[in-house]
Structure 1
Amino acid sequence: MAKRPLLVGNWKMHGDGGDLPTVIAIGEAARRHPAVDVALCLPATLIERAGRVCLGLAIGGQDCHAEPNGAHTGDISAAMLREAGASLVLLGHSERRHDHHENDVLIAAKLRAARAAGLDVMLCVGETAEDHAAGRSAEVVRQQLTRSLAGMGGQGIAIAYEPVWAIGGDRTPDPAEVAAMAGLIRDTVSGVRIVYGGSVTPDNGAALFVDGGVDGFLVGRQSLDAEAFIAILKSIDLATRQISSPS
């Protein structure tokens, strides 16, 4: 059975109160396209305000600590995100894995903490350019999945495949490569929605969605632009309706 499409924007370390009109515009578009689940993962400082001005749009955090509280200056717990109004959290994003040296053991602990606090999780996995060139993509992604999930099932979890070499640039894998990785993920963990992340645009989104075997996208820089993000949303909605009602 086909899963509901899912489109998530990751604002990273961008955005302040002056950007709430963008959140509102995206929320209004999401209500016009109810067949697609839409969420924005925002800086923690915006979560509560975004939830107040944009009912109906899921708001998420971008990371959480593995502990519920403690002497962890500058960190934020899953329970704090939930209290602020978040319903989901990104974990294992490549920028956390590489810039902050997070490993799968730590990500697994964060995932357990997030689920215990009632947050859904989007777990990010993906290989570097070096792994890709060496033909280790499948090995790396399978290892990240099994170690980060650490025996947990797929309840409340979505998987984002984001090849590191495609993030923030102009390179994207072709749909067949994405479809092969989506198949590997489904073989490794059942019952999850799988999204693709890495230089998704309004121009390539439809082909990646239809031919890439994914249930949607995790979008970075394009989610900061309401017009571009909404164009991706429209392409998913149109493709979903065409798939559901073939001519």
Structure 2
Amino acid sequence: MRQALVIANWKLNGDTALLKDMAEHFHHVDIQEQVNVVICPPAVYLKTAAVLFEPSGIELGGQNCSEYGSGAYTGEISAEMLRDIGCEYVLIGHSERRALFAETDEMVAGKIKQAQQCNLRPVLCVGETLAEREANAVESVIRGQLEKALGEADFNNLVIAYEPVWAIGTGKTATPEQAQEVHKMIRDWVASKAPESAQKLQILYGGSVKADNASTLFHQADIDGGLIGGASLDTEQFDAICQAAKDI
């Protein structure tokens, strides 16, 4: 059995007040034995988050890491630095990083390698654009992203998040059937590379997940939880999404 996993990606949002509010809320919510909950705030808040969330058992993740381990790379944050301040996870290859900051598949592969070398669990984000879906290229696009990113990866220390680009921050959500179809395809691809890991691997759905659609999505056979954007900035709504994941 795979344990449910819900990850909050705050992106360029949030502040100390939100951290305190959410930490206080989850300190009184007994959920960790049934759902792994991870918060990915902006990097400047990670150390504060580590202190505030420790009593609740909520884990931390970085939103990104460098493909380099150290050196003259001003503004970069290494995987080792994230691990050093208490992170367990790191998001890699999010569509916003690919589209807005020109991250290539080769860069994504380098970041995954760095993360795994530092005992961080990378959360590889994959997904297609609306044009690619309408061209019936979903499978080829996502298989290509997987192949290029995971050629040297350890499948036992990995999470994959399927986020259709057309559903991120748009209010549009893949139907449960659409999401399940892609999740199964991803699991089948992993099985072809690492059969012993495929059924253990957590595969998350992301893309306008909210409290009112989380349960239906999470009840699909190959969806193990969610990578949550905007809804993770509302403590009550994020808690409702985590509660929905308890029943997977």
Q: Which TM-score applies when normalising by structure 2?
A: 0.92
TM-aligned CA distance change 1:26 to 1:152, over 3 Å: farther
Which residue of structure 1 aligns with residue 194 of structure 2? none
TM-aligned CA distance change 1:86 to 1:33, over 3 Å: closer
TM-aligned CA distance change 1:29 to 1:5, over 3 Å: farther
Greater alpha carbon shift after TM alignment, 13-22 vs 196-205: 13-22
1:209 aligns with 2:210: no
Q: CA deviation at 1:29?
A: 5.7
1:52 aligns with 2:61: no
For 1:140 and 1:40, locate their aligned partners in 2 and report how far apart those are by CA, in whole Å.
28
For 1:46 and 1:194, locate their aligned partners in 2 and report how far apart those are by CA, in whole Å.
27
For 1:138 and 1:92, locate their aligned partners in 2 and report how far apart those are by CA, in whole Å.
17
Which residue of structure 2 aligns with residue 19 of structure 1? 18
Q: CA deviation at 1:236?
A: 1.5
Greater alpha carbon shift after TM alignment, 32-41 vs 135-144: 32-41
Seq. identity, %: 39
For 2:156 and 2:31, locate their aligned partners in 1 and report how far apart those are by CA, in whole Å.
27
For 1:26 and 1:124, locate their aligned partners in 2 and report how far apart those are by CA, in whole Å.
28
SS in 1 for 2:208: coil
SS in 2 for 1:211: coil
8 Å CA contact 2:31, 2:243 repeated in 1: no
Corresponding pairs, count: 238
Summarize deviations over 1:73-128 as a string: whole Å, max 9, x none: 11111111111221110000000011111111110001000111111111000001
Name stretches of at least 5 consecutive residues in structure 2 with no aligned partner.
191-197
Which residue of structure 2 aligns with residue 151 of structure 1? 152
1:195 aligns with 2:194: no
8 Å CA contact 1:29, 1:230 repeated in 2: no
TM-aligned CA distance change 1:85 to 1:26, over 3 Å: farther
For 1:21 and 1:202, locate their aligned partners in 2 and report how far apart those are by CA, in whole Å.
21
Which residue of structure 1 aligns with residue 74 of structure 2? 73
For 1:174 and 1:17, locate their aligned partners in 2 and report how far apart those are by CA, in whole Å.
35
For 1:22 and 1:187, locate their aligned partners in 2 and report how far apart those are by CA, in whole Å.
40
Q: CA deviation at 1:20?
A: 1.9
- Letter matched to residue 3 of structure 1: R
SS in 2 for 1:27: helix
TM-aligned CA distance change 1:123 to 1:44, over 3 Å: same
- Letter matched to residue 221 of structure 1: G
TM-align CA RMSD: 1.4
Name stretches of at least 5 consecutive residues in structure 1 with no aligned partner.
241-247
Aligned pairs for 1:161-240 (under 5 A) are 161-189=162-190, 190=198, 191-211=200-220, 213-237=222-246, 239-240=247-248
Greater alpha carbon shift after TM alignment, 17-26 vs 183-192: 17-26
For 1:47 and 1:128, locate their aligned partners in 2 and report how far apart those are by CA, in whole Å.
31
Which residue of structure 1 aligns with residue 100 of structure 2? 99
Which residue of structure 2 aligns with residue 245 of structure 1? none
For 2:168 and 2:221, locate their aligned partners in 1 and report how far apart those are by CA, in whole Å.
17
For 2:16 and 2:244, locate their aligned partners in 1 and report how far apart those are by CA, in whole Å.
29
Summarize deviations over 1:33-90 as a string: whole Å, max 9, x none: 5201100111111111111111111011000001111111111111111112211100
- Letter matched to residue 68 of structure 1: G
TM-aligned CA distance change 1:22 to 1:142, over 3 Å: farther
8 Å CA contact 1:175, 1:212 repeated in 2: no
SS in 2 for 1:132: helix
8 Å CA contact 1:24, 1:53 repeated in 2: yes
Q: Which TM-score applies when normalising by structure 1?
A: 0.92
SS in 2 for 1:151: coil
For 1:19 and 1:102, locate their aligned partners in 2 and report how far apart those are by CA, in whole Å.
29
